[in-house]
Amino acid sequence: MSRVHPDVTIYDTFPKLLDYNAEHWPNDIAMREKTLGIWKELTWGDYQQMVRNIALGLQELGLGRGDAVGLIGDNRPEWVAGEIGVHAVGGMIFGIYQDSLNEEVAYLINYAGARVILAEDEEQVDKVLEIAEQCPCVEHIIYSDPRGMRKYDDPRLMSFAELLRRGAACHDTNPDSYRQLVAAGHGDDTAILCPTSGTTGKPKLAMLQAGALLNHCVYYLQADPRKPGDNYVSMLPLPWVMEQVYAVCQALMTRLVVNFVEEPETQMEDLREIGPHFVLLAPRVWESLAADVQARMMDASPFKRWIYQFCIRRAINSFKQTGQPSKLAYWLIFKPLKDRLGFSNLQSAATGGAALGPDTFKFFLSMGVPLRQIYGQTELAGAYTIHEADDVDFDSVGIPFEGSDIRIDKPDENGVGEIIARNPGMFSGYFKNDEATRESVDSDGWMRTGDAGYFKKENGHLVVIDRISDIAVTACGNRFSPQFIENKLKFSPFIAEVVVLGHEKPFLTAMICIRFDIVAKWAEKRGIAFTNYINLSAQDEVYNRIQKEVEMVNATLPEAHRIHKFLLLYKQLDADDGELTRTRKVRRGVIREVYSDIISGLYSGSAAIPVDTVITFQDGTTSRLQTSLRVVELLNDKNEKVA
C-alpha cells in the first residue's frame, strides 16, 4: 500500500506533523467548529499559528520539558491546539472528562503534578478553583470562553486570548524560537498521560509516546484507510485514547477535517449537517440510536410497522446468507433512514471501548452502515483489532492489525484464556507507578489485558467474552458472561442499562434501568399517568412491558443463562455516583456494595423489596426516597417458577 501520510519516522511528533501540513497545505480546511449555529473553519495555517502562539505563551509562563498540563472541557479546537502546543514545549498532557466531579479532578491533577490547567469555560474554572487548596501544584488556569469570568480576580487565571497574545509577541521578538522548540522534540518523549477507565478503582495514567502512537496508526490506516479532506465528527471525549487516535493522530497523518459539534445535545443534528465519511461512536450511542429508530416506529401506522418489521427480517436474513444488505429493504426503508441519521456518506464506522451487542450490530449492518468493531486498551494505543470490510463477524472483534501480536494465555479445553497483547504503540509504563507496570507487562513486552477470549478456528477472529473478573459461575456450576446477556437486553428500546447477577447464586437475576424518554413516550400514548422516573419505573404496565422484553431475550438463551427474576431500579446508574466509569462501563464492585440489600432481596423470595435511601440531584440537593421495588418472577419452559 502506498503511503498517504508523511514518514512518521521523520515527522515523529504531533507538532512536526502539523508544521508539515501547514507548510504544504496552509489553506486547506483542518477543523470546523459550530458556534451559534454557524460552522467556522480553521485552515492548517490557522491551526499551526494557534499552536505556535500557545506553545510560546506557555514557555513564557515557565512551562518546559517534562511538565504536565491538564485539559478539561468539551471537544473544541482549543483543546486539540492546546494539546499540541504543550507537546511543542516538551510537556505532557492529560485529559480530564468534563463531567468529572471535583474529587476526581483533584486526584488527577495531583497525580500528574499539573502546573497548568487549560479549562474551557466558567463551569470548569469553578471546578478547578474549588479544589485549588488541595492542588498546590497548579500555577496557572487558562480559560478559553470569557463569558462570566469578569467576577474572578484569582492571580492564576489567564484568558486564552491573553496566552495567544503573549505567544505572538514572543514570535515577533524571536521568529525562530518555535521552530527550535519543535525540532527539539523527539518521538520517544512522553506526550500523553492517558487516564485508564478505572473500572476496578481509581484511574492510572498511561504514558504514551507520540512516535509510538503515530507508528501504530500506520498499521491502523492500512486496515481502515483515510484520505485528505474526509470528514470526521469528534463526539467522544478527548481524554479517551480512541478520540486521540482519530481526532489528533489520524487527522494529522491523513489531513482529515475534524468537526466539533456545538453542544452534546445537538451532536446528532450537527452530524447530519456534516454527513461524515467516518464516525467513531461508543456502544451506548449505537444502542441509543437503534432504540430511537425503534421508538419512532411506535408512532407509525400499522402498515408502516409491518413494512418495517418485514424489511428488518429480510435484511438480517440477507446479511446472514450473502454478507450484504437486502436491496429491497435498503430502498424501502434503510436508505431514507441512513439519510436521516446523517450516515449517507459513511465509508467506515467503528465502535469500541466496550462490547456492542450482536443484535445492535446486525441492525446497523443490515441498514448498510459499514460498522466495524474495534478492540484494545488505553495502554495498547486504543485499538489493535478490527473487522475487515468484507469479513464482519457479529460475535467477534475482528483480526489484529499488522504489527500487533495477540495470544491466549493458559487456554482451557475450549481455547478460552486471558488475552495477552503487544504492539508498536503500547505505553512505556504507568506514570509514577512502576509496580503496576511490572504487574501488567512482562519482560518480553506482553501486556495482560484482564479480558477472557479465544480465537475462532474457522476465521481467526478474536472473540472477547468478558472481563475475567466478571465471568461468573452459578451455584450449580454454570459459567456465564453477564455482559453478553446485558447487551442482548439493551437492544430493547425500553432498556437503558442492566446489571445481570448470579455469581454463586442458584439462578440469574437482573436489575434494569428503563430508557426514560422512550418509556415515557410509550406511557403517554397509553394514558398512563406518571410524574418522574421513579414513579414511571414503578408502574405495573411498565413492568409488564419490560417483562415481555426479558422473556424475548430469554427465549434465545440456554436455560442456565436465562433471567429468572428482575426488578426495575428507581434511578439510572450514574458515573457521578461511581456506578459507571466516565466511559460508561459498569463498576460491578460498586454495584454489589451500593445495592447489596436489593440484591439480597432478589434472592430472598420476597415479592417486593423496601427501599429507604437519599437521592442526590445534579444541583447538589438531596431528598429522602422511600419506596418498594416489585420483584418479577419468570417461568421456565415447563411454566414453572424457578425459585
Q: What is the pLDDT of residues 40-60, one digit of tens each?
A: 999 999 999 999 999 999 999
Distance CA 160, CA 181 (A): 21
Distance CA 349, CA 276 (A): 10
Distance CA 207, CA 205 (A): 6
Q: Is the separation of the CB atoms in 625 and 613 below 8 Å?
A: yes
Lowest mean pLDDT of 88-92, 187-191, 579-583, 594-598, name the range: 579-583
Q: Is the separation of the CB atoms in 228 and 28 below 8 Å?
A: yes
pLDDT, tens digit, 9 for 90 and up, residues 419-428 = 999 999 999 9
Kindly state whether residues 475 and 593 are assigned to the same domain.
yes
- pLDDT band at 614; cut points 50, 70, 90: confident
Q: Could you say which of 415, 439, 467 is where a domain stops?
A: 467
Please compute the mean of the pLDDT values over residues 165-175 and round it to a whole number: 97
Kindly state whether residues 443 and 476 are assigned to the same domain.
no
The grid coordinates listed for 571 are: 434511578
- pLDDT band at 312; cut points 50, 70, 90: confident
| C-alpha torsion sign, points 603, 604, 609, 611 | negative
Kindly state whether residues 349 and 204 are assigned to the same domain.
no
Please compute the mean of the pLDDT values over residues 478-482 and round it to a whole number: 91
Distance CA 158, CA 162 (A): 7
What proportion of the chain, given as a percentage, has pLDDT over 90? 70
pLDDT, tens digit, 9 for 90 and up, residues 248-259 = 999 999 999 999
Q: Is the separation of the CB atoms in 32 and 39 below 8 Å?
A: yes
Please compute the mean of the pLDDT values over residues 74-87 and round it to a whole number: 97
Residue 346 within any structural domain of the chain: yes
Distance CA 159, CA 142 (A): 5
Range ranked top by mean pLDDT from 205-209, 279-283, 325-329, 576-580:
205-209
Kindly state whether residues 385 and 288 are assigned to the same domain.
yes
Taking phi first (over 0 means left), then psi (-120 to 50 degrees means alpha), and beta for anything else, what does residue 20 get?
A: alpha
Residue 593 within any structural domain of the chain: yes
pLDDT, tens digit, 9 for 90 and up, residues 194-231 = 999 776 668 899 999 999 999 999 999 999 999 999 99
Kindly state whether residues 494 and 426 are assigned to the same domain.
no
Please compute the mean of the pLDDT values over residues 87-112 and round it to a whole number: 94
Residue 640 has pLDDT above 70, yes or no: no
Residue 18: name the closest of 177, 208, 178 by CA: 178
Residue 508 has pLDDT above 80, yes or no: yes
CATH code at position 310: 3.40.50.12780
Distance CA 31, CA 407 (A): 39
Distance CA 119, CA 553 (A): 45
pLDDT, tens digit, 9 for 90 and up, residues 446-474 = 999 999 999 999 999 999 988 898 899 99
pLDDT the model gives residue 636: 61
Q: Is the separation of the CB atoms in 95 and 109 below 8 Å?
A: no
Coil, strand or helix at 69: strand
Residue 36 within any structural domain of the chain: no
pLDDT the model gives residue 586: 86
CB atoms within 10 A of CB 256: 24
Residue 635 pairs in a beta bridge with 641
Kindly state whether residues 198 and 297 are assigned to the same domain.
no
Residue 324 has pLDDT above 80, yes or no: no
Distance CA 585, CA 581 (A): 5
Distance CA 272, CA 340 (A): 7
CA atoms within 13 A on the CB side of 595: 29
Kindly state whether residues 415 and 505 are assigned to the same domain.
no
Q: Could you say which of 467, 495, 510 is where a domain stops?
A: 467
Q: Is the separation of the CB atoms in 346 and 475 below 8 Å?
A: no
Residue in the block written with cell 454489589:
592
Please compute the mean of the pLDDT values over residues 142-170 and round it to a whole number: 94
State which residues form the domain around 623. Answer: 471-633
CATH code at position 192: 3.40.50.980
Lowest mean pLDDT of 77-86, 275-284, 361-370, 612-621, name the range: 612-621
Residue 546: name the closest of 609, 608, 487, 496 by CA: 496
Interacting residues of 419 by C-beta distance below 8 A, sequence separation 6+: 406, 408, 409, 449, 451, 452, 453, 462, 464
Amino acid at position 530, single letter: F
Give the mean pLDDT of the chain. 91
- pLDDT band at 440; cut points 50, 70, 90: very high
pLDDT, tens digit, 9 for 90 and up, residues 561-585 = 999 999 999 999 988 888 888 777 8
Kindly state whether residues 56 and 203 are assigned to the same domain.
yes
Kindly state whether residues 561 and 413 are assigned to the same domain.
no
Residue 457 pairs in a beta bridge with none
Residue 480: name the closest of 472, 488, 469 by CA: 472
The grid coordinates listed for 40 are: 467556522
Interacting residues of 66 by C-beta distance below 8 A, sequence separation 6+: 90, 91, 92
pLDDT the model gives residue 291: 83
Name the maximum alpha-carbon separation found in the chain: 85
Range ranked top by mean pLDDT from 242-246, 487-491, 616-620:
242-246
Residue 598 within any structural domain of the chain: yes
Q: Could you say which of 438, 467, 496 is where a domain stops?
A: 467
Distance CA 197, CA 292 (A): 27
Distance CA 76, CA 147 (A): 16
pTM given for the model: 0.87
Amino acid at position 179, single letter: R
Distance CA 117, CA 413 (A): 52
- pLDDT band at 494; cut points 50, 70, 90: very high
- pLDDT band at 3; cut points 50, 70, 90: low
Interacting residues of 574 by C-beta distance below 8 A, sequence separation 6+: 580
Kindly state whether residues 247 and 319 are assigned to the same domain.
no
pLDDT, tens digit, 9 for 90 and up, residues 525-555 = 899 999 999 999 999 999 999 999 999 999 9
Residue 183 within any structural domain of the chain: yes
The grid coordinates listed for 397 are: 472483534
The grid coordinates listed for 335 are: 436508505
Please compute the mean of the pLDDT values over residues 507-530 and round it to a whole number: 93
Interacting residues of 526 by C-beta distance below 8 A, sequence separation 6+: 541
CATH code at position 475: 3.30.300.30
Residue 605 within any structural domain of the chain: yes
- pLDDT band at 2; cut points 50, 70, 90: very low
Distance CA 313, CA 318 (A): 9
Residue 639 within any structural domain of the chain: no
Cα–chain center distance at 461: 23
Residue 228: name the closest of 10, 29, 17 by CA: 29
Angle at 116 between CA 151 and CA 437, to 5 degrees: 140
* Burial class (CB within 10 angstroms; exposed 0-12, middle 13-18, buried 19+) of 540: exposed
* Burial class (CB within 10 angstroms; exposed 0-12, middle 13-18, buried 19+) of 320: exposed
Please compute the mean of the pLDDT values over residues 122-129 and round it to a whole number: 94
Kindly state whether residues 383 and 345 are assigned to the same domain.
yes
Residue 370: name the closest of 339, 391, 397, 396 by CA: 391
Please compute the mean of the pLDDT values over residues 627-640 and round it to a whole number: 78
Residue 356 has pLDDT above 90, yes or no: no
Kindly state whether residues 413 and 458 are assigned to the same domain.
yes
Phi, psi of 341 (to 5 degrees): -80, -10
Distance CA 475, CA 253 (A): 53
Coil, strand or helix at 11: coil
DSSP H stretches of helix in 323-357: 327-329, 335-341
Please compute the mean of the pLDDT values over residues 321-330 and round it to a whole number: 80
Distance CA 204, CA 193 (A): 9
Q: Is the separation of the CB atoms in 515 and 493 below 8 Å?
A: yes
Interacting residues of 327 by C-beta distance below 8 A, sequence separation 6+: none
Residue 615 has pLDDT above 80, yes or no: no
Coil, strand or helix at 563: strand
pLDDT the model gives residue 639: 52
Residue 215 within any structural domain of the chain: no
The grid coordinates listed for 328 are: 429491497
The grid coordinates listed for 642 are: 424457578
Domain count, the chain: 3
